[in-house]
Amino acid sequence: MSARPARYVGQEILRREDDYLLRGEGRFVDDLPAPIGTLHLAFVLSPHAHARILSLDADAALALEGVVAVLSGADMAALVKPIVAEIEFPGYRRHGRQVIAKDEVRFVGEAVAVVAAECPYVAQDAAELVEVAYQQLPAVVRLEDATRPGQPQVHDEVPGNLYFEGRFATPGIDAAFAGAAHVIRERFRSGRVGGVPLEPRGCLAVPEHGDGMVFHSSTQVPHLLRTALAQYTGQPESSLRVLVPEVGGGFGTKAQIYPEEFVCVALARRFRRAVKWIQDRREELLTDIHARDHLYEVEAAVDDTGLVLGLRASVWTNGGAYSTLPFGCTLETTGGARMIVGPYGITQYAYEARAVATHTTPAGAYRGVAQPTCYMAIEGVMDRIARRLGLDPAEVRLRNMVPTASLPWTNVVGVRYDTGSFVESLRQAMAMIDYAGFRARQPADRLVDGKYRGIGICSFTEVSGTGAPGWRARGLVRLPGFDSGIVKVEPTGKVTAFVSHAHSGQGHYTTFAQVVADALGCELADVRIVEGDTAATPYGTNTFASRSAVTGGGAFIRAAGKVREKLRRIGAHMLEASVEDVVVQDGRVHIAGVPGHGLSFQQVAETAYAMNTATLPEGESFGLEDSDFYDPPLVTMANAAHIAQVAVDAEDGRVTIERYVVVHDCGRIINPMIVDGQIQGGVAQGIGEALMEEMVYDDSGQMLNASLLEYLLPTAADVPNYEIAHIESPSIDTVGGFKGVGEGGVIGAVPAVLNAVADALSRLDININTKPLRPSLLARLIREARARPG
Amino acid sequence: MGERIEVTLTVNQRKRRAQVEPRLLLVDYLRHELGLKGTHVGCEQGACGACTVLLDGRTARSCLHFVAALDGAQIRTVEDVAPSPELLHPIQQAFHRQHALQCGYCTPGFVMTTLELLAGNPDPSQTAIRRALTNNLCRCTGYANIVKAVTAAGKALREGSQA
Ligand code: FES
Ligand code: FES
């Protein structure tokens, strides 16, 4: 990176996206005009978690006026190949999924037929008339039951319902435990949740002349989607254009590629008509990926000062009924096992990690992936060490952290932390919330004004901007890692910049413009960002896992740098100066130190595009654009400390978050306003996950709360005012120095809130090792504790 | 599907006459018959507030109302909030300045809720704001900036600043 001062990067610049969104002019997938004659789809969903499909009678449905076709799993199998998540990792068992179940259904909500009709209401009505006869089979639902002998098998290819099993151990792990003064053991169980974006999913496939197809989808991964659609439906990739409209929140949920997308494209090909599908909320909750159905069994070997000498973790994740593209069913498993050491200098570590198959909704990537749960475990262990040894929980963390002076540090599983501020972040967060004062005032019984009051910490590292080696390390051989940008100065001097990403609320039109304007040396107002169109944008890995600032920013800096050099070469030639004497600044190409002696971008561009009488320098090519990609290192590690202060009502068990402090370090910040927004939204999701959200299944595999009336999301009354500060430790391993921030909010909030409640209830001898902590649960635990003698 | 019902209603200050199926929901009428796509659908069950409009001046979930029952009603949607293509309403301006929206899917609903709140209570307390905002779900922002925006909008409206 050059030492040029940034003009826009780092500034709180208001968003370009807001005006149209505030006017209700954002065009989300259901707002797109569908061509006349569009077919609308409705899926028939299995009411059973596990059953054999005996027969399917579509006569009544087909008799409805406006119904064009009803297709079964067998019909669709002729059009779309079985979907296989290609993970190459020792211990992984591959299996396929039909886009519509053919013989057997494996979770409630799995599609068994699809109706295509002239209008969405008719499609819905017809779906209800499709009669399916099932032979119900016993289902396996709970993670704890999946691998027990005698359980129903989810897939023949997955014996014992074990999708994946992996192990790791450092040579000195047993010795660390043998010599330890204390061993702390705990079991942490995390309830299953989902991303639940406010906009459900949807897509619209529009055949074009020849074999062309335009596919609009509310996806976070347009390029990966296009490749997958081509691979499985036979639609030539080169004649398939994926367009991403406004997307009403993604959070990873929309980064998976779903069966309905394949069905839409396949039926548009089959009928040569536009095909549209809009999901309803029940389908969203039943069929979009779930996450966090995890169990951690952790033991820490600890010395008398609270130093962790060794850590053993057994990580179990419920993968659900299928492995989903593009991450498969092992993302959470390998993530939890690999990330649990966090900011701590733990050098002896062993894990066993397992993903199991059950008759439940497939698991996938939801914001934070395994980090909220693996920090629930390790941060819960830190608190237990403190309680066992009579130390302060903050002190235990500080003793175990990798000090800044030891960075760069390669952790025990080989992940490099290039820069960071683990100790400083925690200390600053403690100062902001007056941690010492709180502890000094906190009575031994934690009761203040009839409420139990506690404080909880989560210190963590946050994986962001994963490059190809990072995905390979987790067996995801088909996830590229890089992203790309094209920067183009148009003949009029305006700048269009294309990037492989696709936004779902992150403000890319604003932040990427800041990056490009600085890297190119032009006015912010002159830059326009284009994304979410595979016909215009270069290939890339797309937008999930806190990637866009790192990979898109890096790609743009590299591409803009090349264009800037070309501007200089042509400008120098026009100014009859040597290239070394010419700079590009504030939208002009001029002699260094003499802004008056120079040219506008337009003047240089006209030469580049041969629209004037000037000539190009010898050997220079026409045009004024260039592209580049950026593949970051293994991962780009951000870090943060969260501290929550809570009150637990002794009677009704309700938790109020009284204060919430975050100190975050995402390296070089592009736009502080947007960074804070990411953190605030994430913290709210984490509070929801810690206190109320859970996909509840009964023993037969029915999801009991598949509606927003019963799956509770946090409201404005459930969340606090967030107090946020930043430390900037620019990455030295990435182009641009950026680190991601998309997931930190939720990662930190889940453990911080749980630990705060645990602290509040610590004198009652209540063990908080599960989530969500619903009022009913806490009220019962408090009641029981108070009834205990002593 | 058989029987149709005739209704006359006012939408964004324009009189509309419609022959509707009894099961036609207000949100579908607004979106699909009038092309007012700023009113969004998040749940169709009255839980999320993305479909919030003003019905005779009060917030209403347009996914829960049948058009057939709205004869004579006055409806206002987000499309009728900004004073011009150049200017935003002070509430919208405050949302912009306070970064109170990310994906923007919930935003029209929040704008309508804020309109109602500030019309009835020009200087609401933080608690009153948070209580009113429980009408709507937002999955992106964590609400804090929305609370700030409502506070700022109230102030701007009280001071009569339209800029
Ligand atoms: S769509 Fe009407 S309340 Fe959710
Ligand atoms: S801004 Fe996305 S749901 Fe509110």
Residues A687-741: tens digit of each pLDDT: 999 999 999 999 999 999 999 999 999 999 999 999 999 999 999 999 999 999 9
Q: Residue A96 above 50 pLDDT?
A: yes
Distances from the Cα of A225 to the Cα of A222, A244, A273, angstroms: 5, 11, 20
Which residue in the block uniquely carries the two structure tokens 């006026």? A65
Ligand 1 nearest-atom number relative to CA B51: 2
Mutate to test the pocket of ligand 2, among A20, A198, A504, A678 (most ligand atoms within 8 A of CB): A198
Mean predicted confidence (pLDDT) in A339-343: 98
Chain-chain contact of B104 with A719 (C-beta, under 8 angstroms):
no
List pocket residues of ligand 2, CB cut-off 6 Å.
A 198, 248-249, 505; B 101-107, 138-141
Would you call A128 an interface residue with chain B, using a CB distance cutoff of 8 Å?
no
The answer, yes or no, to whether residue A3 has pLDDT greater than 70, is: no
pLDDT digits (tens, 9 = 90+) for A733-750: 999 999 999 999 999 999
**Domain membership flag for residue B69:** yes
Q: Which ligand does the CA of B48 lie closest to?
A: 1
Q: Is the residue at B9 inside a domain?
A: yes
pLDDT surpasses 70 at A2: no
Confidence (pLDDT) at A146: 98
In total, how many domains does chain B have?
2
Question: For strand A131-136 and strand A349-357, is the pairing parallel, antiparallel, or unpaired?
Answer: unpaired
* Residues A618 and A643 both lie in one domain: no
In a domain, A147, yes or no: no
Judge contact between A366 and A193, C-beta under 8 A: yes
| Interface check B99 vs A, CB under 8 A | yes
A722, β-bridge pairs: A660
Q: Are residues B19 and B67 in the same domain?
A: yes
Domain that holds residue A516: 18-25+482-630
Same domain, B74 and B111: no
Domain assignment of residue B71, yes or no: yes
- If asked whether residues A400 and A500 sit together in one domain, one would say no
B19 touches chain A (CB under 8 A): no
B43 lies in the same domain as B15: yes
The answer to whether residues B94 and B33 belong to one domain is no
Residue B65 lies in a domain: yes
Regarding whether A650 and A621 lie in a shared domain, the answer is no
Half-sphere exposure of residue A195, counting CA atoms within 13 Å on the CB side? 29
B105-137 burial by CB neighbour count: b if 16+ within 10 A, else e? bbbbbbbbbbbbbbeeeeebeeeebbebbebbb
* E strand spans, A257-303: 275-278, 290-291, 294-302
**Which CATH number do you get for residue B97?**
1.10.150.120
**CB A263 within 8 Å of CB A238:** no
Where is the domain boundary, B80, B114, B146? B80
What pLDDT does B163 receive? 40
pLDDT value of position A359: 98
The reply to whether residue A248 touches residue B101, judged by beta carbons under 8 angstroms, is no
Using the mean position of ligand 2's atoms as its centre, give its distance from the Cα of residue A379 in Å: 30
Q: How many CB atoms lie within 10 A of CB A423?
A: 18
For residue B39, list chain A residues with Cβ-Cβ distance below 8 A. 24
DSSP assignment string, A346-392: ---EEEEEEEEE-SSPPB---TTTTHHHHHHHHHHHHHHHHHHHT--
**Interchain CB contact of A677 with B (< 8 Å):** yes
Nearest to A252 by CA among A140, A359, A372: A372
Residue numbers of B between 27 and 86 with CB closer than 8 Å to A: 31, 36-48, 50, 77-79, 81-82
pLDDT, average across residues A273-302 = 98
> Which residue from A18, A198, A680 is facing B142, i.e. has the nearest CB?
A680
A652 and A503 in one domain? no
Q: Are B53 and B116 found together in one domain?
A: no
Is B85 a member of any domain? no
Does A417 share its domain with A507?
A: no
What CATH number corresponds to the domain at position B18?
3.10.20.30
Where chain B has pLDDT below 50, the residues are 162-163
Residue A568 pLDDT > 80: yes
CB contact under 8 A, B102 and A507: yes
**A-B contacts at Cβ under 8 angstroms:** 173
Q: Taken in order A374, A375, A376, A380, is the CA torsion positive or negative?
A: positive
Among residues B50, B80, B110, the one where a domain terminates is B80
CA atoms of B124 and B131, how far apart (whole Å): 10
Cβ of residue B76 lying under 6 Å from some atom of ligand 1 = no
Is the CB of B139 less than 8 angstroms away from the CB of A685?
Answer: yes
- Shortest distance between the Cα of B8 and any Cα of chain A, in A, equals 24
**Could A18 and B101 be called an inter-chain contact, meaning their C-beta atoms sit closer than 8 Å?**
yes
Residues A673 and A14: beta-carbon distance below 8 Å: yes
A84 at the B interface (CB within 8 A)? no
State whether A121 and A222 are in the same domain.
yes
Tell me whether residues B140 and A196 touch, CB distance under 8 A.
no
A787: contact with B, CB 8 A cutoff: no
Is residue B134 assigned to a domain?
yes
Same domain, B110 and B47: no
Q: In this structure, are B11 and B73 located in the same domain?
A: yes
Domain stops at, among A234, A261, A287: A287
At A531, which CATH number? 3.30.365.10
Q: What is the pLDDT of residues A218-239, one digit of tens each?
A: 999 999 999 999 999 999 999 9
Q: Are residues A663 and A615 in the same domain?
A: no
Domain extent for B124: 90-159
Choose the closest CB to B144 out of A15, A673, A721: A721
pLDDT reported for residue B162: 46
Task: State the Cα angle at A132 between A129 and A135, rounded to 5°.
Answer: 155
A605-641 tens-digit pLDDT: 999 999 999 999 999 999 999 999 999 988 999 999 9
For A31, name the nearest residue in chain B, comparing CA atoms only. Answer: B37
Reduce the DSSP state of residue A627 to 3 states and report it: strand
User: What integer is the mean pLDDT of A45-60?
Assistant: 98
Kindly state whether residues A501 and A568 are assigned to the same domain. Answer: yes
A628 touches chain B (CB under 8 A): no
Residue A380, CA distances (Å) to A197, A423, A759 in order: 29, 18, 11
- Protein residue with least CA distance to atom 3, ligand 1: B46
Residues of chain A with C-beta less than 8 angstroms from the C-beta of B82: 22-23
Examine the fold and report which residue of A585, A614, A630 is the final residue of a domain before the chain moves on: A630
Tell whether A188 is covered by a domain: no
Nearest to A197 among B46, B111, B139 (CB): B139
Q: Does A18 touch chain B (CB under 8 A)?
A: yes
Q: pTM of whole model > 0.95?
A: yes
- A543 — contact with chain B (CB < 8 Å)? no
Residue A181 falls inside a structural domain: no
Among residues A630, A646, A667, which one ends one of the domains? A630
Query: Which residue, B58, B80, B102, sits at the end of a domain?
Result: B80
Tell me, in angstroms, the distance from the centre of ligand 2 to residue B66's CA. Answer: 26
Q: Same domain for A601 and A639?
A: no
Is the domain of B75 the same as that of B21? yes
**Confidence bin at A405 (pLDDT 50/70/90):** very high
One domain, residues B10 and B76: yes
Tally of CA atoms within 13 A in the half-sphere of A733 that contains its CB: 23
Atom of ligand 2 nearest to the CA of A197: 3
Domain identity same for B112 and B143: yes
Q: Is residue B106 lining ligand 1, measured as CB closer than 6 Å?
A: no
Do A690 and A757 lie in a common domain? yes
CA dist A207 → A34, A214, A235, A266, B137 (Å): 12, 6, 11, 11, 36
Per-residue pLDDT tens digits for A144-202: 999 999 999 999 999 999 999 999 999 999 999 999 999 999 999 999 999 999 999 99
Q: Is B25 touching ligand 1 by the criterion CB < 6 Å? A: no
| B103 closest CB neighbour out of A19, A248, A714 | A248
Q: A7 with A227: CB under 8 angstroms?
A: no
- The pLDDT assigned to B161 comes to 55
Residue A1 in this model has a pLDDT that exceeds 70:
no
**CB contact (8 A) between residue B40 and residue A248:** yes
* pLDDT for the residue numbered A351: 98
Q: Among A416, A667, A415, which residue's Cα sits nearest to residue A550?
A: A667
* B119–chain A nearest CA distance, Å: 19
Q: Chain B residue closest to A64 (CA)? A: B1
Same domain, B33 and B95: no
**CA nearest to A259, candidates A282, A233, A237, A221:** A233
Q: Are A649 and A778 contained in the same domain?
A: yes
CATH number assigned to the domain comprising residue A201? 3.90.1170.50
- Do B67 and B108 sit in the same domain of this protein? no
Residue B103, ligand 1, Cβ within 6 A:
no
Mean pLDDT (whole number) for A79-97:
93
Chain B residues with CB under 8 Å of A673 CB are 99
Q: What is the pLDDT of residues A474-521, one digit of tens each?
A: 899 999 999 999 999 999 999 999 999 999 999 999 999 999 999 999
Residue A351 forms part of a structural domain: no
Q: How far apart are CA A294 and CA A188, in angstroms?
A: 8
How many CB atoms within 10 Å of residue A566?
Answer: 22
What pLDDT is stored for residue B3 in this prediction? 87
Percent of chain A past pLDDT 70, that is, above it, reads: 99
Q: Which is nearest to A197 in space by CA: A268, A248, A260?
A: A248
- The answer on A382 and A234 residing in a single domain is no
